[in-house]
Structure 1
Amino acid sequence: MKKIFLLAMLTIFGIANSNAQQVKKTKKTLAKKTAIAETPKVIASKVIGAKVEGAGMLFENETIDYGTIAHNADGNREFVFTNNGSKPLIITNTQGSCGCTVPTTPKEPIAPGAKGKIGVKYATDRVGAFTKTVTVTSNAEGQATKTLTIKGTVLADEVPAATPTTKS
């Protein structure tokens, strides 16, 4: 009788333990599926520009290519962005990577859904290829700093051909 009772208790314990393990596996699987399901939402908000909670900053282009430009040409360009967030975007600072790259910072907060511009002036009196950055500091959700790039090539002035001199 003791053996039957002991066998029954072990069987009940074994079934209960098996069910507990199954519940743990189900919870883990459900957690993984939830995490995977939420991942595209995060990616979509960054890539497509969906609304974000808080302030947002989505640039039309993060790189400006000046191409090949003449020496002392107009070096002014603009980075255009949209506040794709639900709160005003405040840009607290813009900093060029060197003294030849001078950005301008919007003074007023950018309302949700509104566009803004960050101006940048490159000193085109410097001849040769260039790649410079502008670091933007703001209250944008998930990207307190953003790095923008400008690049191009400034051509040297053409030197006129020497005219031969004749002796008279």
Structure 2
Amino acid sequence: MTKAVIIYGGNTRKSRLKGVLDKAEKFLSENQFEFETILVHELPAEDLISANFKSEPIIEANAKVAAAEVVIIVTPIYKAAYSGILKTYLDLLPQKGFEGKTVLPLVLGGSFGHLLVIDYALKPVLSALGARMILKGAFVLDTQVEYAENDQFLIHPQAEERLDHVLHLVREEESRRASSIHK
């Protein structure tokens, strides 16, 4: 069974970004991935800000990343960049923390004017962490995710289609990797 980890760079479980997270978690569940989610905003703020590499919660989160074959990054876009919350955690990963992993960025932003954030802001950091297999990510407009009731979210069909497409790329890549290992 393929192990995955989702790194959630939002600042709350109540934002529209949670709809993107829910979609990714549902996909992993339905496709028999073993996965865990790191909610960065729930890690100790002082440890993140002070770069406390000895923090037990940070060590535990890093162990989840180390054990994963797939890493899904879920982040909002603020001021044409991924969240600072996400950056504080990425700074605490080992230098080659994403080496040998399939990485998929999923971002939520206010306008398609920020569409290139994945390529020009996020991918360089992921590459610096050793990622070589960075899949084409998905950009979702925040207006394409609506809060329903009972902490559920509705995703606009166009955005749902984009997310489905890139999430299926994860499954295809992992199938390719598994078949090459067994040859």
TM-score range, shorter-chain basis?
Answer: under 0.3
TM norm structure 2? 0.21
User: Higher helix fraction: Structure 1 or Structure 2?
Assistant: 2
TM-score by length of structure 1 reads 0.23
**Structure showing greater Rg:** 1
Q: Give the strand-richer structure, 1 or 2.
A: 1
